[in-house]
Amino acid sequence: NRGSDATGRIGIDVPRTDTDFWDSYQDHLKADLAHGGPAALPLANSQNDIGKVVSDVQALTGQGARAIVIAPQDTGAITAELRRLADRRIPVVSVDTRPDDGPVYMVVRADNRAYGERSCVFLGERLGGHGRVAELQGDLSSINGRDRSEAFAACMKRRYPGITVHELATDWKGEVASAKLQSLLAQHHDLDGVYLQAGGAFLQPVLALLRQRGLLEPVGTPGHLTLVSNDGIPDELAAIRAGTLDATLSQPADLYARYALYYARAALAGKTFRPGPTDHGSTIVKIKNGLEDQLPAPLVTKENVNDPHLWANQSEQGK
Amino acid sequence: MTAAPGGPAPEEPTREPAVAEPPAVRAEGIVKRYGPTLALDGVHLTVRPGEAHALVGRNGAGKSTLVSVLTGMARPDAGRVAFGGVPAPRWGDPAAWQRQVACVHQRSMTVPGLTVAENLFLNRFPGGPALRWRALRGRARDLLAGYGVDVDPAARLEELGVEQLQFVEIARALSRGARLIVLDEPTARLDAPGIARLFGRLRELRAQGVAFLFISHHLQEVRALCDTVTVLRDARRVLTAPVAGLGEDALVAAMTGEDAGHRRPARAPAPPAPPAPRTDGTPVLRAEGLALRGHFGPLDLAVGAGEVVGLAGAAAGGTTAVAEVLAGLRSPDAGRITVRGRPVRPGSVPHALDAGIGYVPEDRHREGLVPARSVAENLTLAVTGPLGPCGTVLPARTREFARRMIAALDIRTTGPDQPVSGLSGGNQQKVVVARALARDPAVLVAVRPTNGVDVRSKEALLGVVRQVADGGRGALIVSDEPADLRICDRVVAVFRGRVRAEFRRGWREADLVAAMEGVTAGTPGPPTAPDTSTTEGTAP
Amino acid sequence: MTETTAPPAADAPPAGPVRRPRIAPGRWRDFSLVPVILLLGVVGFIVSPAFLSGDNLIGVVQQSTELGLLVLGEALVLISGRMDLSLESTIGLAPVVALWLVLPAHGGRFAGLGLLPSWTAVPLCLAVGAAIGAANGFLMLRLRVNGFIATLGMLTMLRGLHLGLSEGRSLADVPDSFAYLGRTSWLGVPAAVWICLALFALGGAALGYLRHGRALYAIGGNPEAARAAGIRTDRITWTVLVLAGVLAAFAGVLYTGHYGAVSASQGSGWIFQVFAAAVIGGISLKGGRGTLFGALTGVLTLQLVINVMTLGGVPPLWTQFLNGAIILLALVVSRFTSGEQQE
Amino acid sequence: MTETTAPPAADAPPAGPVRRPRIAPGRWRDFSLVPVILLLGVVGFIVSPAFLSGDNLIGVVQQSTELGLLVLGEALVLISGRMDLSLESTIGLAPVVALWLVLPAHGGRFAGLGLLPSWTAVPLCLAVGAAIGAANGFLMLRLRVNGFIATLGMLTMLRGLHLGLSEGRSLADVPDSFAYLGRTSWLGVPAAVWICLALFALGGAALGYLRHGRALYAIGGNPEAARAAGIRTDRITWTVLVLAGVLAAFAGVLYTGHYGAVSASQGSGWIFQVFAAAVIGGISLKGGRGTLFGALTGVLTLQLVINVMTLGGVPPLWTQFLNGAIILLALVVSRFTSGEQQE
Ligand SMILES: Nc1ncnc2c1ncn2[C@@H]1O[C@H](COP(=O)(O)OP(=O)(O)OP(=O)(O)O)[C@@H](O)[C@H]1O
Ligand SMILES: Nc1ncnc2c1ncn2[C@@H]1O[C@H](COP(=O)(O)OP(=O)(O)OP(=O)(O)O)[C@@H](O)[C@H]1O
Ligand SMILES: [Mg+2]
Ligand SMILES: [Mg+2]
């Protein structure tokens, strides 16, 4: 249905396609567009490069996009482009990240600081406030990774000073995470838990390492290392069912896709929103350059792992 | 630069006839080491203004090293250099050295990707900082025309032939206006007319008071051009004397350190000759109707068992291409090659090797050597069988094999494990020849095998070639040097890809040169018919 | 007779060694990507009429500017026979250091030192670039370590320094003087485009007509010969490395203005692109060959490929595959249009 | 015996220029990283006594195996005077293609074709690696395009193919036969370690003691001389490229077993590491120089650096900086211990 919509079309750029999370974000977008969603131009892929985001956006607006959906993984370097789009009165929906500056119509994201904080609380409670945990960080220049690290560190310091945290930078790379964790395990045999900032990248390597070292005891047995992950991809749910992973925070790929399109269409229709609770269980808050819809990011444990509302369970069925 | 600490006390430089002018260059007590090798050991050298000074010595004596020191390319470990009485520029300031001395280095010092014009005027373009291309090309054309070289100045240098290239380097050095010009084996890549042109030019410059330091392994060239000669032996200076009063034997004796008069036998004692497969008259190598368009015409060639055949031709006369086709490096357009009656697949080096054709390439730097690898490895590069079972090469056997070759060809090296790049030019050449012999070929095809090799080694190398033939095999020497061709039983002269004449032993040099240059006038010595296309090998 | 290689006289049927007069083959090489660019233009137009709109084309050129400047610097370094991988980090680090020295210690999100007035930011940035180039020169020319790995180490170290200084954040509160060049337009075309073209033209002229420019080819083609000809090879190489650093830092200035902030991953992963652009544009990795014009066509080709793919709506999962396939195609086409083997 | 040229025994050669006996200087180069490794060992022990525990050291070696196999392949390619960047993608793509052909079309999260029984996965994977190597050979040796850019294009294209086939997902349901080698242990040490060491030993022996192995040095050192000496340069180069592809694919098998899944970014960004390891280990980018032992020490050095930094608890923001600084330091140290200039 290209070009059929009188109010204009939506230009969408997906940030990358080499992770499970963004891959299913893209799947949901496609599914929603196919099922009577708004008219959109073909998706562009910026391969995790902010320069490409800008050039894609320019190509999309050149082709007549009247609203833009992006997920800029670098929140600073998108500023100029946001200003340019504002000058041309093209509304922007930013998914997953909150641009530092430059007007946005709506930010659709789960709160990454909340990920770090809730992971910290989960670990803190499970370990009873003392012990030793490793934190597999992402790419230090990624805003989401940094938010998680900062919130986790602040929370640990404030609420669980008895827990020693070893921060390991990994560039979102599984083999780096595995190597560093292995070194740490050689040094500290008394490790109690691991916080995996991205289940998509770290889960299998960490499980493989623990299995090799004979440390992969099921949840609830003595000697078990508490593992908390973020992302909520199907692999993580499977691990929770299998009793190897304690918990994950499900980043709602489906909701990202659905509400990105929802707000883009609303923008085309000229609708405006105001801060406050929404009809889909989230809250819109005011930020300095626009509004942000903070979508719920449920904590998934053995108890609710089969909840059909979890996006990973849906995509499993969809396939 | 200081005098050698602890070195031999700097001896007095040779007293020259009293001259008011300071010497064009004076080097005192130069010491230069390369790792374990002492390349120069307290060498002195004085070249007076306007003098043509020859520097001779065996391969590896240190001549090129001395040149490097005199031109600021290498930093001596000890010693002093002065130009016109003024100490030499600081090391590492090449521009300043350039003003003192111009040099034709032994190894090509050109930039292949740049044009001829640019190479001629590299770093000293006429005019201001901005280049005027048209003017530059004009001047380049004029300059080269003076040497009889006709190339497009806008052509890239890599498109030139060896001889043209050499003239570009010579023209560059001579046109620089320096009062001292160093020529390190400038004639090695020129043919006879080229050498004549070069010498004419040098004499003109000399008349203008330019001094030369001239290096060559051709003693007759030294005699023709120079008035003083310095002999280096084993990194030391052994003699400086006027050329006039010095016989060739005395010079060779100085170079080799043997007593004058005691000449060693020209040919090494024959080896325990392998049973020569006495032939039924089949030539070991035969080429029929061989042709490569643009290089040589249909041409027939035969080398009999026990025969050494010379293929004589000027530098660009297509003879090198004949050798390359025989060796399998190029595919011929027509014709067939057989070795001992068995056909050889054209255009394939491995097949040529298996068939028994050993090859000494023209340019040892380009096609001969793998510079970073050891002497032993270079020697055994083509050897397949005897170094170990099933495609293995056992280091012990390789080294043993290499030692034998080193001894056989008198290669100067610290040992089989020395990287071949650390050898002097002549010794590198011997490695290439030895490599061709290593597989025990039925026929040896050698292009200018004695290129850059000193007098004594030349004898030895040619002696080895002769031995190969005497052992019942054959050899084809592609060369334009009379000295190389002297050992041949038969010489085939080629001009522009066509056989012009054939000579048997005892030819006169003038006739040969004339045939090579296409001047078929004059009666060849004991010639066969000039149009002999099929020259059957005949045992001498 | 003095004719060494005269054209074969009538009596010699098989011609002597062939030296057919030819159009200087080197020339073609520089234009070998032009057919590729034209082809991309046609495909772009078929794919979407928006391709030929002024907006789109200017957009493509503007997006090429930062990469273009890096390629300019790298081309100079490659021509003189070296490599500099660290340019990829310089484009990010130089602005960060400059801003760190300039931004006030309090008030902004990023705590700088506030040592210097804010107008010094651009000169400071260029100076940092120069310093990095000089450091590379020190490693390669004084310590004589392998240039590839030395600059690879620098790349890692400088990116680490960038991360450490910026704490992984992007710096958005950039002084106006710093952002000006990257975001302003002159005569309706981004200033960056004018500047970049001017620098390429300048560089091209210097390489073609200046003695020191020609010296780069000599140094890259045969350093020993260059030294023997009296060229101060080390000094010139060092200058080129510094220049490349400065160009990369300047690309950082443009980038910052263009995108409105210094991002923490600015330039990360670009160096492959830089090499790809230079080499498909005809610059040899072995030194001594290639022109800046060729390098520029290389940059434009890469950028056009991305633009055409975006306009064509290639499914995201397959963009990278297509990208690689098109690079290979461009390489093969340029090899056959230039008629030369590439080394 | 094939006595071609008996020594002219009588006249002994005149004593050459004075030479002191010495250990061949080239030899040192291969050991130039040994002091660096010892230094890292001492620092590691100071930083944490756990460094010297068997667990830790075995861990370091195990983490080196996949990178090590890539370096082994790349070293062979570099020695023969070529480059292959695409190894970085082969390590990911080869397992994906193999699994795609093998995994059932229904049931798992990843829909394969289920064409072949699952035991064929490993041979298939190696075959894919060989095919990629052959394609590289075709580009370089038949089309004669620049190898650097050709394999860079392949890198991009193959990574794209990987993404396209796997749809950006990681494949976790790997057949046991495929995962076995990467995760099992023999005699208390991971099988991957044994295999990797064996392959390095084999490769080293081949380079040192096989005619065809030695030919690689000749081809890399002077291809024309190699050809003139009757070495089939193209055929051997092609074989080496195929071999490198197979080794990379095998590294992919070990990786998959080791980390439990084929991730979509498997190997991404490794090629720089591969080159760094090879070059600081003494392999020349210009061909014809270096040994596999040196390459192995290069890999271990890089991995030890990371290990020591982790044990030392370097703040994450500064690890990259320190990593780069240490690479530079290792480079400088190895340059001075080997006493040779690097080119
Ligand atoms: N760069 C170097 N590294 C190692 N050894 C060297 C180097 N340059 C020269 N030598 C050695 O120094 C000695 C002198 O070499 P040089 O080239 O000066 O000899 P030459 O007299 O020019 O010989 P030729 O007549 O063969 O050219 C030789 O033994 C050579 O092996
Ligand atoms: N930088 C160097 N490193 C190692 N060896 C060198 C170096 N420079 C020169 N040599 C060696 O020193 C010797 C003399 O060098 P030179 O350039 O005179 O070689 P050459 O073989 O005599 O030249 P040609 O064969 O072209 O006449 C040669 O063995 C050469 O390889
Ligand atoms: Mg010499
Ligand atoms: Mg010589």
> What pLDDT does B147 receive?
80
In the predicted model, is pLDDT for residue B9 greater than 50?
no
- Position of tokens 């390439």? B361
Whether C212 contacts chain B with CB within 8 A: yes
Rounded Cα distance, B55 and B240, in Å? 9
Instruction: Please give the number of the atom of ligand 1 that sits closest to the Cα of B38.
Output: 12
pTM comes to 0.86
> What pLDDT does D253 receive?
95
Residues of C in Cβ contact (< 8 Å) with B296: 14
Q: Ligand 3 centroid to B452 CA: how many Å? A: 8
Structure tokens at B105: 């280095």
Nearest to C273 by CA among C76, C64, C10: C64
Structure tokens at B333: 């357009």
What domains appear along chain B, each with residue ranges and CATH number?
A: 22-100+211-257 (3.40.50.300), 285-365+431-536 (3.40.50.300)
Q: Which comes out higher in pLDDT, residue B99 or D194?
A: D194
> What band does D124 get if pLDDT is binned at 50, 70 and 90?
very high
> What band does D14 get if pLDDT is binned at 50, 70 and 90?
very low
In terms of phi and psi (left: phi > 0; alpha: psi -120 to 50; beta: otherwise), the region of A128 is left
> What band does D106 get if pLDDT is binned at 50, 70 and 90?
confident
The verdict on the CB of residue D315 being under 6 Å from ligand 1 is no
pLDDT in tens, C173-182: 888 899 899 8
Per-residue buried b or exposed e for B253-289, using 16+ beta carbons within 10 Å of the residue's own CB: bbbbebeeeeeeeebbeebeeeeeeebeebbbbbbbe
In the predicted model, is pLDDT for residue D40 greater than 80?
yes
Collect the ranges in chain A with pLDDT lower than 50.
Answer: 1-6, 317-319
> What pLDDT does C235 receive?
93
Name the strand (E) or helix (H) holding C319. helix C316-338
State the CB neighbour count (10 A cutoff) for residue A6. 6
Per-residue buried b or exposed e for A200-233, using 16+ beta carbons within 10 Å of the residue's own CB: bbbbbbbbbbbebbeebeebeeeebbbbbbbbbb
> What pLDDT does C250 receive?
96
Structure tokens at B341: 């009656």
- Position of tokens 């003879």? B319
In the predicted model, is pLDDT for residue D10 greater than 50?
no
> From atom 22 of ligand 1, which residue's Cα is the shortest distance away?
B64
Phi, psi of B530 (to 5 degrees): -60, -25
Q: Which of B166, B369, B418, B428 to mutate to test the pocket of ligand 2 (most atoms within 8 A of CB)?
A: B428
Residues of D in Cβ contact (< 8 Å) with B381: 218, 225-226, 229, 231
In the predicted model, is pLDDT for residue B12 greater than 80?
no
CB distance C169–A139 less than 8 Å?
A: no
ipTM for this model: 0.84
In the predicted model, is pLDDT for residue C86 greater than 90?
yes
> What pLDDT does D35 receive?
87
Q: C50 with A9: CB under 8 angstroms?
A: no
Strand order in the sheet with A283-287: A44-45, A9-14, A65-70, A92-95, A106-109, A290-294, A283-287, A276-277
Please report, as a single letter, which amino acid is at residue A299. L
Task: Give the mean model confidence (pLDDT) for residues B232-239.
Answer: 89
Nearest to B460 by CA among B450, B452, B470, B451: B450
Nearest to B73 by CA among C143, D342, D343, C223: C223
Whether C306 contacts chain D with CB within 8 A: no
Q: Judge whether C29 lies within some domain.
A: no
> What pLDDT does A7 receive?
62
> What pLDDT does C14 receive?
38
CB distance C4–B194 less than 8 Å?
A: yes
Give chain C's contact residues with A (Cβ, < 8 Å): 48, 50, 53, 55-56, 59-60, 63, 66, 109, 163, 168-172, 182-183, 255, 257-266, 268-269, 303, 306-307, 310-317, 319-320
Q: Which chains touch B (3 or more CB pairs under 8 A)?
A: C, D
Rounded Cα distance, C253 and C33, in Å? 29
Q: What angle do CA C286, C287, C288 make, to 5 degrees?
A: 135
Best of C234, C305, C321, C329 to disrupt the D interface by mutation (most D CBs within 10 Å)?
C321
Burial (CB < 10 A; 0-12, 13-18, 19+), residue C176, is exposed
The verdict on the CB of residue B169 being under 6 Å from ligand 2 is no
Kindly compute the dihedral angle of the four CA atoms of residues B106, B107, B111, B117, in this order, to the nearest 10 degrees. 30
Min distance C29 CA to chain A CA atoms (Å): 29
> What pLDDT does B538 receive?
35
> What pLDDT does D339 receive?
65
Among the listed ranges A293-302, B222-231, B314-323, C116-125, which one has the minimum average pLDDT value? B314-323
Task: Give the mean model confidence (pLDDT) for residues C91-109.
Answer: 86
In the predicted model, is pLDDT for residue D18 greater than 60?
no
Question: What range defines the domain where residue D254 resides?
Answer: 65-268
Helical packing angle, D233-259 and D211-221, nearest 10°: 110
| Most confident region among B42-51, B322-331, C236-245, D58-67 by mean pLDDT | C236-245
Kindly report the average pLDDT of chain D as a whole number.
86
Among the listed ranges B500-509, C281-290, D5-14, which one has the minimum average pLDDT value? D5-14
3-state helix, strand, coil in chain C (%, to 5): 70, 0, 30
Whether A146 contacts chain C with CB within 8 A: yes
The verdict on the CB of residue B166 being under 6 Å from ligand 1 is no
Could you write out the DSSP letters of every residue in A53-80? HHHHHHHHHHTTEEEEEE--SSSSTTHH
Q: Judge whether D337 lies within some domain.
A: no
pLDDT in tens, C27-46: 666 788 888 899 999 999 99
Bridge partners (DSSP) listed for residue A228: A195, A247
Q: Which chains touch A (3 or more CB pairs under 8 A)?
A: C, D
E strands in B25-138 = 25-34, 37-47, 52-57, 78-83, 86-87, 102-104
Bridge partners (DSSP) listed for residue C185: C190
Whether D224 contacts chain B with CB within 8 A: yes
Q: What angle do CA B228, B230, B231 make, to 5 degrees?
A: 140
Q: What angle do CA B440, B443, B445 make, to 5 degrees?
A: 110
Whether A43 contacts chain C with CB within 8 A: yes
Rounded Cα distance, D168 and D36, in Å? 40
Using DSSP, state whether B502 is helix, strand or coil. Answer: strand
Rounded Cα distance, A225 and A210, in Å? 9
Rounded Cα distance, B112 and B91, in Å? 26
> What pLDDT does B421 receive?
86
In the predicted model, is pLDDT for residue D21 greater than 60?
no
Closest in C56, C306, C315 to A62, CB measured: C56
Q: D317 with A140: CB under 8 angstroms?
A: yes
Closest in D160, D320, D327 to C320, CB measured: D160
> What band does D134 get if pLDDT is binned at 50, 70 and 90?
very high
Rounded Cα distance, C311 and A58, in Å? 10
Q: Which comes out higher in pLDDT, residue A277 or D111?
A: A277
In the predicted model, is pLDDT for residue C7 greater than 70?
no
Q: Judge whether C20 lies within some domain.
A: no
pLDDT in tens, D48-80: 888 988 889 998 999 899 999 999 999 999 999
Could you write out the DSSP letters of every residue in A243-269? TS--EEEE--HHHHHHHHHHHHHHHHT
> From atom 28 of ligand 2, which residue's Cα is the shortest distance away?
B424
In terms of phi and psi (left: phi > 0; alpha: psi -120 to 50; beta: otherwise), the region of B177 is left
Please report, as a single letter, which amino acid is at residue B139. R
Nearest to D250 by CA among D66, D109, D114, D110: D66
Q: Judge whether D46 lies within some domain.
A: no
List, in sequence order, the alpha helices (H) in B226-348: 248-256, 319-327
Q: Judge whether C257 lies within some domain.
A: yes
> What pLDDT does D139 receive?
94
> What band does C8 get if pLDDT is binned at 50, 70 and 90?
very low
Rounded Cα distance, D219 and A58, in Å? 49
> What band does B526 get if pLDDT is binned at 50, 70 and 90?
very low
Rounded Cα distance, C140 and A221, in Å? 58
Task: Give the mean model confidence (pLDDT) for residues B17-28.
Answer: 77
Q: Judge whether D6 lies within some domain.
A: no
Q: Judge whether D278 lies within some domain.
A: no
> What pLDDT does C28 receive?
63
Size of interface B-D (CB pairs under 8 A): 154
pLDDT in tens, B90-101: 887 888 888 889
CB distance C163–A74 less than 8 Å?
A: no
Min distance C66 CA to chain A CA atoms (Å): 10
Count of the separate structural domains present in chain C: 1
pLDDT in tens, B90-136: 887 888 888 889 999 888 888 888 888 888 888 777 767 777 888 88
In the predicted model, is pLDDT for residue D23 greater than 70?
no
CB distance D324–C157 less than 8 Å?
A: yes
The verdict on the CB of residue B319 being under 6 Å from ligand 1 is no
Q: Judge whether C225 lies within some domain.
A: yes
Bridge partners (DSSP) listed for residue B211: B180
Closest in C2, C9, C12 to B497, CB measured: C12
Q: Beta strands B443-447 and A290-294: pairing type?
A: unpaired
Q: Which comes out higher in pLDDT, residue C169 or B485?
A: B485
